[in-house]
Amino acid sequence: MNSQIPKTFHVKSFGCQMNVYDGARMTELLEAEGMKASADVGAADLVVLNTCHIRERAVDKIYSDIGRLRRDDGSRPMIAVAGCVAQAEGGEIPRRAPIVDIVVGPQAYHRLPELVAKAGRGEPALDTDMPIESKFGELPARRRQGPSAFLTIQEGCDKFCTYCVVPYTRGAEVSRGWSAILDEARALIDLGAKEITLLGQNVNAWTGEDEAGRIQGMDGLARALDRLNGLERIRYMTSHPSDMTDGLIRAHAEVEKLMPFLHLPVQSGNDRVLKAMNRSHAIHDYLDIIDRVRAARPDIAISGDFIVGFPGEKDSEFEDTLKIVEAVNYAQAYSFKYSPRPGTPAADMDEQVPAELMDERLQRLQALINQQQLEFNQAIVGRRTSVLLERQGKKPGQLIGKTPWLQSVHLETTAVVGDMVEVEILSAGPNSLAGAEFMKDAA
């Protein structure tokens, strides 16, 4: 066993952007304790698997990943399982995989250093509390940031869609405070961030009081961020249709730094299925929001999530999903086969859809989405747009950045990561664009 405090660590995050954000905060926390981040899993004294519980496959993968942490010489690192599987399975994890030393839930990871110390003494180290006082106040200041930053402003979900584990793994909806968010945004900008993506399981349900005691929504927060010098782009995800307020729609017309992109999952194109999913909105509500958002910001890119094969989904109901995709015309979208999750109401519903039928539906849906994605990308070929350079590409001198519509662009340039450049788009595929630098931004 591990009877020592680790000197090096490696954090590996799975799942959504909120997990990526939590992974970055855990990294900073362990660094503040004097440990060093190691890029090599095989060399780290402590490995933190920051897990996702959203679909069955994701969970199975975690257990196989844990097994692979055993090294050729028979040794192994100290192993911590964090994230949503930790919250959902708790003590079951060390029972199923006894080489796991630490289990820590998504609302308790500020206590990771104490848990590491316990595990170092060979004591059981499990913490899946959801403390009333937020972990955010306990975490060390931000220390590192690239040009595009994530900032979690809202956690948890009260919507209880019948297929979903998130309300159980992340707990009730909680909004972080106005000034804590703005302070963190300023810190990220000082560290080099030019783009901030506000995150939440239902980010547009965020609400809080500003300095003057006025109740604000996410649109007010976007307006406050818009005033911060050095910040150039604001994004947010994921949004729920029921929380898409008039104010937020108006912000898309008025807030200069708010990017023309909206990720608004609908899940299904059929009202009966939406009802069985407990989605609290109908198809016409969704289409009405899309119309109003497009009226406010005509060039906005719309993204979505879909589930095929929800229990009881008939052929004709699946066809309705294809119809809504046709009607909306997505810039990009994610689609998933329904995965029964333990403890959720849908897992016990009759008429689970057979796997082959789900495969067939998924293929048809993805073919349609890919075609729309390609058309959306092709429509920008020959135009000039700003690109925020985020990372090195595979080829020497090649950098990869994003357009305002969240498309990836590859280009050869003498500019550096973090620069905002004007790019002429030369060609487009379904997942990325190629471009050439037009001129370097004077800023």
Candidate segments 66-74, 162-170, 226-234, 358-366, binder of ligand F3S by CB under 6 A = 162-170
Helix H or strand E segment including 234: strand 233-237
Binding piece for ligand SF4, criterion CB under 6 A, among 108-116, 162-170, 184-192, 212-220? 162-170
Residue 198, token pair as written in the block: 């506000």
As a whole number of angstroms, the distance between CA 257 and CA 251 comes to: 10
Answer whether 303's CB lies under 8 Å from 262's CB. yes
Phi, psi of 303 (to 5 degrees): -125, 160
What three-state secondary structure class fits 313?
coil
Binding mask 230-269 for ligand SF4 (x = CB under 6 A): ----------x-----------------------------
Q: Which of 60, 160, 414, 440 binds ligand SF4 (CB under 6 A)?
A: 160
CB under 6 A: which stretch of 19-27, 96-104, 191-199, 336-344 binds ligand SAH? 336-344
Q: Is residue 162 involved in binding ligand F3S (CB under 6 A)? A: no
Strand partners, 367: none
| Least CB distance to ligand F3S at residue 17 (A) | 8
Judged by CB under 6 A, does residue 16 bind ligand F3S? yes
- Are residues 15 and 83 in contact, defined by beta-carbon separation less than 8 angstroms? yes
Q: How many CB atoms lie within 10 A of CB 138?
A: 12
Residue 418 CB burial class (10 angstroms; 0-12, 13-18, ≥19): middle
CB 99 within 8 A of CB 79: yes
Residue 265 near residue 286 (C-beta atoms within 8 A): no
Residue type present at position 336: F
Q: Of residues 149-168, which lie at the interface with ligand SAH (CB under 6 A)?
A: 157, 163-164, 166
User: By C-beta, is 166 or 185 nearer to ligand F3S?
Assistant: 166
Q: Transcribe 292-348 into DSSP letters.
A: HHHHH-TT-EEEEEEEE--TT--HHHHHHHHHHHHHH--SEEEEEE----TTSGGGG
What is d(CA 86, CA 75) in angstroms, rounded to the nearest whole number?
Answer: 23
List the single partner that 52 binds among ligand SF4, ligand SAH, ligand F3S, none, CB under 5 to 8 Å by kind. Answer: ligand F3S
Say how far apart CA 139 and CA 123 lie, in whole Å.
Answer: 24
> To the nearest whole angstrom, how small is the minimum distance from the Cβ of residue 154 to ligand SF4?
11
- Asked whether position 265 contacts ligand F3S by CB under 6 A, the answer is no
Q: Which one of residues 18, 29, 54, 66 is an interface residue with ligand SAH (CB under 6 A)?
A: 54
Which DSSP symbol is given to 267?
Answer: B
Nearest 5°: the CA angle 120, 122, 127 is 80
Q: Is 166 in the site for ligand F3S (CB under 6 A)?
A: yes
Q: How many residues bind ligand SAH (CB under 6 A)?
A: 18
238 binds ligand SAH per the rule CB under 6 A: yes
Residue 339 touches which of ligand SF4, ligand SAH, ligand F3S, none (CB < 5 to 8 A by kind)? ligand SAH
- From 64-72, 123-131, 335-343, 362-370, give the range in contact with ligand SAH by CB under 6 A: 335-343
Contacts with ligand SF4 in 326-365 (CB under 6 A)? none
Distance between the two ends of the chain, CA-based, in angstroms?
A: 54
Q: Name the site residues for ligand F3S (rule: CB under 6 A).
A: 15-16, 18-19, 52-54, 83-84, 165-166, 169-170, 201
Q: Name the site residues for ligand SAH (rule: CB under 6 A).
A: 54-55, 157, 163-164, 166, 201-202, 238, 240, 265, 267, 305, 307, 336, 338-339, 341
